[in-house]
Structures are given as C-alpha cells and as structure tokens.
Amino acid sequence: MRISPPPISVFLLFFLLSIVFPHNLSLGDPIVTCSGIVPMKHRSAMLSISDFGAVGDGKTLNTNAFNSAIDRIRETNTSDGTLLYVPRGVYLTQSFNLTSHMTLYLAHGAVIKAVEDTKKWPLIDPLASYGRGRERPGQRYISFIHGDGLVDVVITGKNGTIDGQGEPWWKMWRDGTLKFTRPNLIEFKNSSNIVVSHVVLQNSPFWTLHPVYCSGVVVHHVTILAPTDSPNTDGIDPDSSSNVCIEDSYISTGDDLVAVKSGWDEYGIAYNHPSRDITIRRITGSSPFAGIAIGSETSGGIQNVTVENITLYNSGIGIHIKTNIGRGGSIQGITIAGVYMEKVRTGIKISGNTGDHPDDKFNPSALPIVRGITIKNIWGIKVERAGMVQGLKDSPFTNLCFSNVTLTGTKGSPIWKCSDVVGAAAKVSPTPCPELTAAAHQGGTCENQT
C-alpha cells in the first residue's frame, strides 16, 4: 500500500534535534514533559498472539486470534493487566476491540494490517456530539482498532506498525460511492488512562487517532504517515476530551496534523462536553492543510490548550483556529508558542467561516465566542501570506495577542488580512492589521489583553 511521505531525512533531522534540544531549553536543562499524567504500568502477565494461532505472513486472516487473545485478557482481569505481544511479521486482520488493563505491544518489524475488503466492515452508532456520521448521515464504520468504556490501555512497542490500508476507502470517497463515514484507524471512546507510544500509524482510512469523550490520554514518540492526497487523514484529533498530552512525534498526512475538536453544531451544543487541558509539544511534520488546528468542530467548547515547540514544513496553514456560525461554544485560553514554519501558504489563520454543517437544523444564531488567544515566538520563512484573522460581525474575536512573530515571504513581505477582531501586537513583522495594533497604540499590551 502506497505511502508518499516528504523527504524523511530532513524532517527526521529536525525532529530528533527538537527532542534532544527543545527550542525553549538550553543544554543541561531537563526536558519538560506532560507524559507522566498517565504512568506506564508493569504488566504481570504476558500473552503472545502466536499462542492463539496468529500467522504473520501477510495473507492469513488473524481476526479470530486477536479476538480470542483479547477475550482471554478480559476474562483474566488481573489488577496489573496483561501484555499482548505481537512478534515480527505482517498480521492481516479485520477490526477488533481492545479491553481494559491491557498493553498491545508491537515488536520491531511487527505490522498489524487491516483487510482491504470494506464490505464486511462493522457499523456502529454515530457519536452523540455529532448527531450523524461525520461524512454521511446515519451510522459510521467502526475504527480498525477500537476501545469503548475502557480504562488503563496502552498501545506501544519497538516502533511496530499499524496499517489501515486506506486506499479503498479513499477511492470510495473520491468516487462518491461511500455509504457511511469511513473508519478511524484507532478510536478510544469514553475511556481513561490511555497511552499510545513508540508505534508507526499509517494509511488511516479517515482520522488516524481519535480519543473522544476521554480523560487522561498520552501520545508520545509516534510516527503518523499517509499520502498528502489522502482525504481527511488527520493525525491526532482529541475530541471532547480532557487532560491530554501529545508530544515528541512526527506526522505527515493528508489533513491537519493535530486538530482539537468538541462536537458539531446543535449536537455538540446539546452534548456540551468540552475539550480542555491539552498540551501539544515538540511535533514535527507536513500537511497540505494545517499543522496545528483548533476546530472546526468546536460546539462543546475548547479551553486551556498549550501548544509549543512545533516545526512545520511544506504545509497549507501553520496554525489554524477555525469555527463557524451555528457552532456555538467558546474557544478560549489558547497559548501557542515556539513555532518554526517553512514553505507554508498561510502562517496564521483564525477564521469564523470555516467548516460545514451536519444538516439544516443548525441554529445560525448560535455564534461561537473566541477570546484569550496568545500566539508568540513564531518564526516563518517562505510564507506566502502572513495571517488571516477574521471574526464574525455579531461575535467579534477578542483578546487576541500576537508577540514576537516574524514571517518572511517568498516574494516580498507577506500580508495580513483582518476583520471583526480586537487584539494587540508587539514585535510582529510584517506589520499586522490595524485591528491588532489599535490596542497597543492606546497603551494596551498583550499582557492585559489575555
């Protein structure tokens, strides 16, 4: 199955340097991490998928082996949990469900690969905060690896691979023959204490890693790959989730690298489950869309998000905060700092007119509130447009702070475009729009704008 990553050697060089020498640290300083919010557990028992008849030849169907092994773990239910070991080999399987208190461990050279037959893929109910499948009305296809109502689950290893073989799904989307919303590669729903680390996730049919209605989620040292033309293959999408840590990862996909979400229009407003207390740190990658995104599904609210030490290349938008009329909800307490971007069409975009609607029942009077956004220490070269900051006439975006932002263009100085926003700017080049400098001219500063 094809993968078309960008020049890995260049990206991995910067990625490794960003891990060893983070942008905000000097030599000898400890590396700041949030990964300890979910401690890794020692498993007292171990099973091998080979003991359940699995054959890693890339041809044998191993769905029964995975289901039998996970059933055994569920039945044993030890307090310390069980590690399920996947040795070197290519293990073809249909989708399967994980259970609580387990570690799925992929050895070096181990590949868990999804079947390409989409006809027998199970369907599940849509998410309550979306009201329907994200792409099509009605049900949605279950994720390749799925967990619902779980606690204490780890997916890790020695950089083994989980391959969604997304090409048939992408083709159905392009051809217009898709009947239901495509499956995510991995989804955890209503779960807590989740860790995903030291694995390669590739060729997702839809979003790659989707924790939704979760708390206590750590993702670190993962590599996420999909062709740049693969539709909607977001990297990591924390959705109506809290206490999330995403660190030290390389992502190159066909859509946003990391996108924080919280429900869709009237359904997300009714469900009312925000995404909050999220840290995104030391991410390197490339996307035809956004490097770091907030939205556009923001109806449950998004609060207290910290983004820092990000390196982006060959991308559509560096930083994108996006919402729309009908969304409602609030986006506030967002701090983005220490971002380097190169060859990006738009450096910074904050928009109130982005994203579609689930149906015609959304309330156009449900306007989002966007305030308290701090963007600082941004450096970009070969940036075509510096920024677009466009609020809503009846709900202007307020308390925006831009400081120490330098964006240089390929042909002269890139420009800013703003409307219906109020904020302050300090040490920003090129000179931002009047809407972002008026407060400073009146004696205001970024510090008293947030």
Q: Mapping DSSP to helix (H, G, I), strand (E, B) and coil, where does residue 373 land?
A: strand
Contacts of residue 261, defined as CB under 8 A and 6 or more positions apart, other chains included, come to: 237, 238, 239, 240, 275, 295, 296, 297, 298, 302
Catalytic residue among 255, 256, 265, 277: 255
Alpha carbon of residue 265 to chain centroid? 20
- Report the candidate in 50, 52, 47, 35 with the shortest Cα–Cα distance to residue 78: 47
In 3-state terms, what secondary structure has residue 174? helix
Angle at 262 between CA 18 and CA 311, to 5 degrees: 15
Q: How far is CA 436 from CA 46, 137, 402, 416, in A?
A: 58, 41, 8, 10
Which has the closest alpha carbon to 450: 431, 428, 425, 433? 425
CA distance 411 to 3: 32
Residue 145 has, within 13 A of its CA and on its CB side, a CA count of: 28
Contacts for 311 with CB less than 8 Å, ≥ 6 apart? 14, 15, 18, 283, 284, 285, 339, 340, 341
* Calpha distance 238→181 (Å, rounded): 18
The count of other CB atoms within 10 Å of the CB of residue 67 is 15
255 is catalytic: yes
Do residues 363 and 338 lie in contact, with contact meaning Cβ atoms separated by under 8 Å? no
In this structure, what token pair is assigned to residue 365?
A: 């009077």
3-state SS, residue 146: strand
Angle at 29 between CA 28 and CA 30, to 5 degrees: 115
- The catalytic residue positions are 255
